[in-house]
Copies of this chain bind each other. A is one copy, B any other.
């Protein structure tokens, strides 16, 4: 019985070989460049997949929440940065974790540093979160005085060890192709280095630099004078990385949602699948003129094939996905067939699906299952 014969409902397929190749490629690049590789585990969210990083020599990881850090600590990871502004309502839990692992925390305000110093009994590394232009969060790179105040507060404390400056250049996601991504990356690194230099001029020296996002790590050859990279999405990639940013090849995308076809609408060149917002999440990417929720592939043997040209998920409701595709491709589909959707954003699809099925039929759990 083939993999696809067993699909009766939306199922997140995982190509283990592709994921392992993605891991080896990113780890190899970090090694070549002499950078610490601290992959972000928020994409795969799986203790089992975490083990696939160990043969590459990975010892340090990134998590996006305290809960995720606790999950991976229980799986044996000993060096974990929570790359999210420290939530001062969870200091007792952070402290318990800091007793067991080498814990990295982020702050961008003196208040947060003071709350951590007051609440922690165990040591933790502190990274100052810097906003290099993404405008999500962090001390704006032009606000050196603010960064200096946070650094001084950290150096004044007994529990926090000021480790360096950290950023996520999330605005690389708005770019397409190597040259454009490199331009944003180089500008981001120049900005965070300018903060480091200014702090050194104020007597706040010896700061490391931590950066990392999948477009940059995939497309930029020379990552410059940084100490650590923290990409996450590269382990699976997705339709956004493939078709919007052009950060990977189709064969690098290691996860796809297998979905039964439930209705055909040839008069409007659309098909409806069992596979909606609760399976893919509602993230979108730019696909030509359209906002798309995913790309459409067909099963080929025991894997999915290349995305069908011009075919995409144009709408999602709770359980329905609406596929737009050309008439000829549509004419070959039947109710009850399975199609494979490359999600817009694999991190969120993993979070809602909560487990994977490998191409050889094994279930792989995540922290949510």
Contact = CB atoms under 8 A, between A and B. Distances in A.
A285 B70 CA distance: 34
A222 interface: no
Interface stretch (A21-29, A48-56, A82-90): A82-90
Given A281-B281, A318-B42, A262 B86 contact: yes
Interface string A251-265: 000000000101111
A85 B263 contact: yes
A31 interface: no
Contacts of A347: 318
Contacts of A264: 109
Interface of A: 7-9, 42, 64-67, 84-90, 93, 108-109, 111-112, 115, 135-138, 140, 170, 260, 262-265, 267-268, 272, 274, 277-278, 281-283, 315, 317-320, 322, 334-336, 338, 347-348, 351-352
A290 to B, nearest CB: 15
Given A89-B260, A348-B278, A319 B272 contact: no
A263 to B, nearest CB: 5
B84 A274 contact: yes
Closest 6 pairs (CB-CB, A-B): A85-B262, A282-B282, A8-B89, A88-B336, A137-B272, A89-B260
